[in-house]
Amino acid sequence: MQKKRIGILTSGGDCPGLNAVIRGVVKAADKLHWEVIGFIDGFEGLLPPGDYRILDRPSTTHIMPMGGTIIGTTNKGHFVSKVGEGNKTMVAPEIVEKARSLLEKLRIEGLIVVGGDGSLTTALQLFEAGFPIVGVPKTIDNDLEATAMTFGFDSAVAAVVDALDRLQTTAASHKRVMVLEVMGRHAGWIALYGGLAGGANAILVPEIPFSYDKLCEVIKIRDYAGAHATLVVVAEGAVPIGGQEMYQQKSNTGESRLGGIGDVVAREIALRTGKETRTCVLGHLQRGGAPTTLDRILGTRFGVSAVQLIEDNKFGQMVSYQNYQVTGVPIADAVNRLRRVTPESQMVATARAMDICFGD
């Protein structure tokens, strides 16, 4: 009698904790005497002749501390359906049918898709086409409305805090303003949590348009009071009042690449205050390296719960972390619903109480 066989793929940007998910899936499936197929480089591995490998206990024994994903990932290719916030295209029917034929050939009875909003948008299309899909949310931005937390976020925040700890010492030595640009396209969670934990004096997030005058006024007041070093954390999607997002690269076929707001903020600060100002762009350092304890646990719980959803034939569901429990929610309720920082939230209020400036 043939064993039940399930598949897993990781899609979109990498982040710490992906391998913890894979390990959780493999060990939970092994307990049920199931086989696990890992598709290489995201959805692209579904195209015939197929690019995949068998995942078992020996091959996943020591992967939890590793960053990235042992089965690779991509945010390009034939299956991209998210082309900007709120915009999507349909995966070509012939591509869908090629993927279906491969899954049928391999006897895949459940496919776990680990990805963010864009990857889950593709997963939803495949589910609506009849694929046995279960989703696992993944984004360091922590901006999916349908789950209270995503793995990778805590590791990204830890990278920001480490950077701020290091920048503080050099800023104090030279009496400089240090501007740290972090990830956060539409939501400022990384900037908010990282800035609060790292002792930032100003945090600029996409949800709160900022004024250069107010930001620089705070820096001048600090300088007058003898606090000559200032740390400013700015999310890549932050915008000044009446301004626009800054892009490294604009695209008409996919999501444009943000970046550069840190340099602009630093130039304006130097011009308006006369303070020596430097910029540090943290970039992909936030995505790499070993996951934190929290992300290892959350990733493991997500992987185990995804297998449980397949066992219960709850396809079209995504695992979700709510009130300290991992449950399932419809993928359709998860995509295109971003969770953003609320300016009136308790976290923002806490930061303001600590004299952190948001530039508003």
> Residue 54: helix, strand or coil by DSSP?
strand
The continuous run of DSSP H or E covering 266 comes out as helix 261-273
Per annotation, catalytic residue among 14, 41, 117, 141: 141
The question of whether 141 is a catalytic residue gets the answer yes
Residue 178 CA to residue 280 CA, distance in Å, equals 7
132 three-state secondary structure: coil
> DSSP letters along 223-262, please?
HHTT---EEEEEETT--BTT----EEE--SSSPPEE--HH
**Distance between CA atoms of 159 and 282, rounded to whole angstroms?**
8
Strand, helix or coil for residue 265: helix
Nearest to 333 by CA among 310, 321, 317, 312: 317
Buried b (16+ CB within 10 A) or exposed e, 308-335: bbbeeeebbbbbbbeeeebebbbbbebb
d(CA 285, CA 258): 16
A 10 A CB-CB count for 168 gives: 16
Query: Annotated active-site positions, please?
Result: 141
